[in-house]
Structure 1
Amino acid sequence: MNNRRKFIQLSAAMGMGAFLPLQFCSPKTKENEEEETLVLATEGTLSAFGIQLYSVKENMAENAAETIKSIAGYGYNQIEGFDGGKGIFWGMKNTEFKKLTDDLGLDFVSSHSNTFKDLEKNAAEAGEIGMKYLINPYVGPQKSMDDFKRIAEEFNKQGEICKKNGVKFAYHNHGYTFVELDGQIPHDYLMENTDPELVDFELDLYWVYTAGYDPIKYMEKYPNRFKLGHIKDKESGIDIAEPNGSTLIGTGVIDFASILKTAKDTGMEYFIVEQERFVDISPMEAAEKNATYMKSFKF
């Protein structure tokens, strides 16, 4: 997620990289929009969906409890958290946060967290209240594949710690893991060198698209590894590689009907709305409109 490094600092030695356009993208076209209409008319609805609270981070910083109450009123039935400086429970005890979400009919599915810090404590508290996942959201571009090899080893260790505490570990991608490094695609290496029993992945469709890859082909390449997904759209008319281009879901270029059907078919279980850029609309208004889209979405 953009600017997440403000909250997650994993290494002072991380290099910087570019988001390079590659190939095999699935933007909407007249043909697949017609196919989307057919799909929407003939298949089932998405019964459960959530929101990454980073989408409303300013509101969370002002009043986390009231923000979450509003989110529940929009029709979300799941939430995914992040550490905004007060911990993943926003200054509350884990059980207090759990009661808040339960009373609102929300399933606190997962949270982004610096899994290189206080993992034992966070995993124990997450497991205690029945959370499904702790997710590492950012490791940053690396200088060599040796760095990603060390990260894969660390992810396996972190997965063991999470499993011991009754919660699962996952990694959320950005675009940098899809940029070739030392003749390899780092994300492929992470997928192929982490233990599926210990490490799952959260596929951010927007960043895969921005990196120039087709999310459908990537999910088909690694079935049952992407248990969570960030549902985020990209505004039309801007360069594919532009990182700051998210928009209201359903108004951009990403073909959700085809992508989310493939996601379901290849093992994705949690569908998490995220928006990071707002034009002529507030984050909370966008969250409400995105919920409306998700409630009406059909496969």
Structure 2
Amino acid sequence: MNTSRRNFLKQGVLAAAGATLVPGVLTAAWKGPQVLGIQLYSIRDDMKKNPSGTLQQLAAMGYKNVEHANYVKRKFYGYSAAEFKKLLKDLGLQMPSGHTVLRREHWDTAAKDFTDEWKYTVEDAATAGQRFVVSPWLDESLRKTYDDFKAYMDVFNKCGELCKKSGMKFGYHNHDFEFSTTLNGEKLFDLILQHTDTSLVAQQLDIGNMYHAGGIAVDILKKYPGRFELMHVKDEIKSAKGEMGGSYESTILGKGIIPVKEVIDLGIKSGGTQYFIIEQESYQGIAPIACVKEDLKAMKAWGFK
């Protein structure tokens, strides 16, 4: 079943089920080797049925890092933060980042502080060994007026301060609406980068989500050098039933129309990109677990270890 990432996130928000993902390194200039990982949403059905067995398959393929997309009631795929960290460690895996939506109600305006639910999200992310807590959504109510949006960018920065206390960094991951929505005559994506503190808020550039909304990854990397510590590596093909209501869907790396290798090289050269996370959400009839194996082969052919 090709579940829409947008619907998945909306359902998570509406259900108010906490989700978490947390950052850990706070360095601006990356000096070490690039980190390669897999967003577990790529194999969401497998993770739902058998998380331990699925992670074992990923490790056997050669994956070393994963990024979660499931944190509910203080558990990752049904495991406590400490349990999940141990499961990963036993398989030779680490989880440097994860996806959890920072919702509007996570910020108590009256108290000028985050709710306990969100504080637990950050706490558990740190326990699980994350380095980045990435929010992959911005509620529609926050995109209506410039003032509401600007106020929430202040919350983003405050979340960066909160994460920093635990040795992590807050991050934001784009979809498509950031390139199709404008406020005060500017694209939402540009406003996000303008109003977030680079020392507190990392950007995870999804190079596929933006495509049908007019976002071109190479152009964005050139426009904002050094701003993208993380990248969702993705390829796209034309589709009658595209993701996010568009006319494109993701496919095995190197099989689509995105110049993925060029984007990766530019991310390394001038984008400030340290973490490259494979994500594939549509499969063209191929088993998802087989797709991510091919994705890994493509990345290794491009020089990743």
Map of 1:263 onto structure 2: 267
Query: 1:145·1:186 contact (CA, 8 Å) conserved in 2?
Result: no
CA spacing shift, 1:137–1:87, aligned 2, 3 Å:
farther
Map of 1:249 onto structure 2: 253
- Superposed, which structure 2 residues align to 1:191-202 within 5 Å? 191-202=193-204
Query: 1:7·1:83 contact (CA, 8 Å) conserved in 2?
Result: no
Q: Over aligned residue pairs, what C-alpha RMSD do you find?
A: 2.4
2:224 to 222, 242, 248: 222
Map of 1:49 onto structure 2: 36
- Tell me the distance in 2 between the aligned counterparts of 1:73 and 1:243: 34
Query: 1:232·1:273 contact (CA, 8 Å) conserved in 2?
Result: yes
- Tell me the distance in 2 between the aligned counterparts of 1:186 and 1:291: 32
Map of 2:118 onto structure 1: 119
2:77 to 61, 66, 90: 90
Shift of 1:113: 0.7
Query: 1:135·1:169 contact (CA, 8 Å) conserved in 2?
Result: yes
- Tell me the distance in 1 between the aligned counterparts of 2:59 and 2:73: 21
Structure 2 stretches lacking a partner, 5+ long: 17-32, 107-116
Q: Does 1:110 align with 2:97?
A: yes
- Superposed, which structure 2 residues align to 1:56-95 within 5 Å? 56-83=43-70, 85=72, 87=74, 89-95=76-82
Query: 2:174·2:204 contact (CA, 8 Å) conserved in 1?
Result: yes
Deviates more, 1:192-201 or 1:145-154: 145-154
- Tell me the distance in 2 between the aligned counterparts of 1:185 and 1:88: 35
Query: 1:231·1:271 contact (CA, 8 Å) conserved in 2?
Result: yes
Map of 1:133 onto structure 2: 132
Q: Does 1:291 align with 2:299?
A: no
CA spacing shift, 1:95–1:84, aligned 2, 3 Å:
closer
Shift of 1:86: 5.6
Query: 1:228·1:271 contact (CA, 8 Å) conserved in 2?
Result: yes
Larger RCO: 1 or 2 (CA < 8 Å, sep 6+)? 1
Shift of 1:221: 1.9
Among the aligned pairs, what percent are the same residue?
Answer: 34
- Tell me the distance in 2 between the aligned counterparts of 1:128 and 1:237: 40
- Tell me the distance in 2 between the aligned counterparts of 1:164 and 1:106: 25
Structure 1 stretches lacking a partner, 5+ long: 12-45
1:231 to 230, 233, 236: 233
For residues 213-246 of structure 1, the C-alpha deviation after alignment (integer angstroms, 9 at most, x for no partner) is 2212211222222111111110157799825511
CA spacing shift, 1:63–1:86, aligned 2, 3 Å:
farther
* 1:257 match: secondary structure: helix
- Matched AA of 1:103: D
- Matched AA of 2:88: T
TM-score, L = length of structure 2: 0.80
Query: 1:88·1:111 contact (CA, 8 Å) conserved in 2?
Result: no
- Matched AA of 1:148: F
Query: 2:235·2:256 contact (CA, 8 Å) conserved in 1?
Result: yes
- Tell me the distance in 2 between the aligned counterparts of 1:243 and 1:121: 38
- Tell me the distance in 2 between the aligned counterparts of 1:226 and 1:10: 30
Deviates more, 1:71-80 or 1:138-147: 138-147
- Matched AA of 1:160: E
